[in-house]
Structure 1
Amino acid sequence: MNLTQLKVFTEVMKTGSISKTAVLLHRTQPAISLSIRNLEDSIGFKLFERQGRQLVAVPEAFYFMEEAQAILKRVSTIERTLHSMQNAEMGSLRIAAMPGPATYLFPRFISRSIGDNPHIKVTLFAHSSNQVHELAATQSIDFGFADAANLNGEAGQYSIEKFSADCFVALPQDHILTRKKIISISDLDNLPMGGLMKQHINTERVNRLFDEQGLSFNQIVDSQTFLPALQFVSAGQCVAITDPLTAVTEMKMNSSHGKVVFRPLKENLRYEYAVLSSNFRPLSKLAQKLKSDWQDELNRLLNEIDANPYPE
């Protein structure tokens, strides 16, 4: 017994005719007759009797018809499901991002990507970069987005695709430095500043830039992420050198209602990001597509503000 035989059988039951079934299925009458005969041989009893020129189904055929239709319907459902999965239209997704992008840009992208598709389920984690690294290493997520610093893909447990982009200076709207199109480190000498924790590699790099020019780095606000520090910038209490995605996020969300503005930094200070994926958790078609699309989205957003993104 096979699916072709079941399909032929159900059509003969519907039409009551070998010739009509042959036309509907674009096959010859002998082929239809052979298919029915082989099916009868496999199940051990006749499904039809000939009464003159008419083909009459035996009582058992009607019960078998219900079972055959149920099987064909299930197979059709499976085929549609596989087609949807192949085209990244169905599946589940476990993803993670560091808190900054997880606040707005990352979930906005995922939401727009899946649209109103009810066949996609999403689990989204917002964790520190180190925790995103651990989730990728333990094969707990499909892919993640984090800082690139100190993420080395130990023991080949996960892969890292790094890229970087230019940092920006966040200023209060009425700050005198907003008159300048480009800000240099010397402009920030001894100014109250906000930024990431002192042990973060980005803060260390900023501090080094000040030291190299004999300037005073006066950070008065330490924050786990840049977005909270912008509240202090908005209030006029400090300025900040931020990563470019923080600038994009604030420009899109406008949480400060225009009280924070951004300027390019003259010095070469790049912020490094990483897209992480597990090496022993094969990505579904859906995860592959969204991971690739997220990288395209990042390039688009960063190019919009002339942050010069490129892979490391």
Structure 2
Amino acid sequence: MTSPQDRPLIVVSGATGNIGRSLVGRLLADGAAVRALTRDPARAGLPAAAETVRADLTGTGDLAPLLAGADALFLNLAAGGDAAAVAVLDAAVRAGVRRVVLNSSMAVTGTPADDTHFIARLHAGLERAVRDSGLEWTVVRGGNYATNALAWAPSIRAAGVVREAHPGAQSVPVHEADLADVAAVALLDRTGTHLGRAYVVTGPERMTLAQQVAAIGRATGREIRVEQISEEEAAEAMVGRYLTKEAARELVRMFGATVDAPPFPVSDAVEQVTGRPARTFARWAEDHAADFT
């Protein structure tokens, strides 16, 4: 994958999101040119070395100019939803982009269960579209994002409390910088090692929600208590722009199912792809301590 000065141009959708922001910095550090797509360039706060471009991926305009001259695309469903992601993928094909790296979810299994699992449904169709696009591809199936813990920040700052229906729910939280590092390696891969691969990317250790709260307490030097609430209260708190009440209920029930039977193993994909171990949740809490104080 080359450009006129042997400097590939990578388009990053969702560039101001947690993964996208880390990815922009990593790609620039690795010597790539970056075109960062965002709704509001003036407020993006991205490095000056990046070409920050206004892009409403949910609109009706032609998206192909956003991909012009690009070697590769980082595609994130969170940047506008599934329809927008498919439109960006189609535009990449028309623009002659060679490679796409898709940010997906470890909930996708490639089995009929993908049609009934809430999170898998959101990503499996886009994975199929990527595979069918004719582009070189790599899929990064992230586990539970450590950044989900940022939802606790307002209540921690205000009252030193986290309210959850299932404090014993287990996951393997992954640092957004690790997801970005894996994506960067795949985007810049010159050997073909990562083409046609779907990597399940997790952190290095399984933790309960209560253990994550304790790690945030240690990182911030604060006493943080965990208060158990009903599933209905938890679902109500999760409802937002992209999450209906029924979808929130399904998520809360899924979390509850992990208390006694954690659904996913710990993956070594970060070390396999990048050559170094995955960052711990304790490291994530230290990196984000200011968000909770």
Q: Same fold (TM over 0.5)?
A: no
Higher relative contact order (CA 8 A, sep 6+): 1
- TM normalised by structure 1 equals 0.32
Question: TM-score, structure 2 length as denominator?
Answer: 0.33
Query: Which has the greater radius of gyration?
Result: 1
Pick the structure with more strand per residue: 1
